């Protein structure tokens, strides 16, 4: 049975068009209190999460980088992503949609590996489809495309022959880590990311003119797709 899933049920109409995504949004992160966010903070946060050395009260106040009132691996991942996105002069570099899509794909495969599942093949063909769908979501947030057709038609439009497929969609999360966590928190969306019967994945990201990020995950089995695991 082909699965169609969405993080939000309602449709949303906003101005169309994709623009460059901003760097990951982060709360806190200055774990050692030196006024900077860097690899030292990542190390101290990791030591706390692993139970090697607990943070003091001030450090804990900075440790919840994603604002979910918990201190865990997700906070390490977000802080590491933030630090990686800072240039030598201390200014943020804006990741491209391709950068954010790749990061989201890596998070999916990391989770699959942890669970003993074969990683998805990150397919450029499926990625193109996912990027197209993300752009369409800016116009209409729904599994139905703006022209009234099902999202399934994006496969045939791009020469992909599917035997099984699923689409996860979301908007509003400000980083790949947050988008991934949102999908993981939903049983249906998590099921698509961890499906053992599909082989390929593609990720799409589009930022609207108002600054909202739209996210698409496509998963499929079939032909007309290539790529490699990431």
Tens digit of each residue's pLDDT (9 = 90 or more) over 99-126: 999 999 999 999 999 999 999 999 999 9
Same-domain pairing of 62 and 103: no
Asked, for residue 1, whether it belongs to a domain, the answer is no
pLDDT at 40 over 90: no
Boundaries of domain holding 48: 25-94
- Per-residue confidence band for 94, with pLDDT thresholds at 50, 70 and 90: low
Same-domain pairing of 223 and 126: yes
Tell me what pLDDT residue 136 has.
Answer: 95
- Per-residue confidence band for 73, with pLDDT thresholds at 50, 70 and 90: confident
User: What average pLDDT does the structure give for the chain?
Assistant: 83
Q: How many residues are given for the chain?
A: 230
Same-domain pairing of 213 and 146: yes
CATH number of the domain enclosing 118: 3.40.33.10
Give the Cα separation of 144 and 70 in Å (integer): 36
Tell me what pLDDT residue 92 has.
Answer: 46
Q: Which of residues 70, 94, 118 is at a domain's end?
A: 94
- Per-residue confidence band for 20, with pLDDT thresholds at 50, 70 and 90: very low
- Cα 129 to Cα 144, 149, 160, 168, 179, distances in angstroms: 14, 14, 9, 13, 18
Same-domain pairing of 68 and 114: no
Rg (CA), the chain: 18
């Amino acid at each position: 049975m082909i699965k169609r899933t969405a993080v939000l049920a309602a449709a949303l109409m906003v101005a169309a068009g994709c623009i460059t995504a901003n760097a990951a949004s982060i709360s806190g992160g200055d774990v050692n209190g030196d006024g900077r966010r860097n690899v030292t903070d990542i190390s101290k946060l990791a030591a706390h999460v692993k139970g090697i050395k607990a943070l003091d009260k001030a450090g804990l106040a900075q440790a919840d980088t994603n604002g979910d009132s918990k201190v865990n691996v997700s906070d390490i991942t977000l802080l590491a992503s933030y630090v990686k996105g800072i240039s030598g002069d201390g200014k943020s570099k804006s990741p491209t949609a391709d950068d954010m899509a790749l990061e989201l794909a890596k998070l999916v495969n990391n989770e699959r590996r942890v669970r003993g599942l074969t990683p998805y093949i990150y397919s450029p063909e499926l990625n193109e489809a996912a990027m197209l769908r993300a752009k369409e979501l800016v116009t209409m947030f729904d599994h139905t495309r703006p022209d009234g057709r099902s999202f399934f038609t994006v496969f045939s439009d791009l020469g992909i022959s599917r035997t099984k497929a699923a689409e996860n969609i979301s908007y509003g999360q400000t980083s790949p880590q947050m988008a991934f966590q949102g999908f993981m928190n939903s049983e249906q969306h998590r099921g698509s990311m961890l499906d053992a019967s599909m082989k390929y994945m593609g990720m799409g990201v589009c930022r609207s003119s108002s600054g909202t990020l739209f996210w698409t995950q496509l998963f499929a089995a079939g032909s007309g797709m290539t790529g490699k695991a990431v």
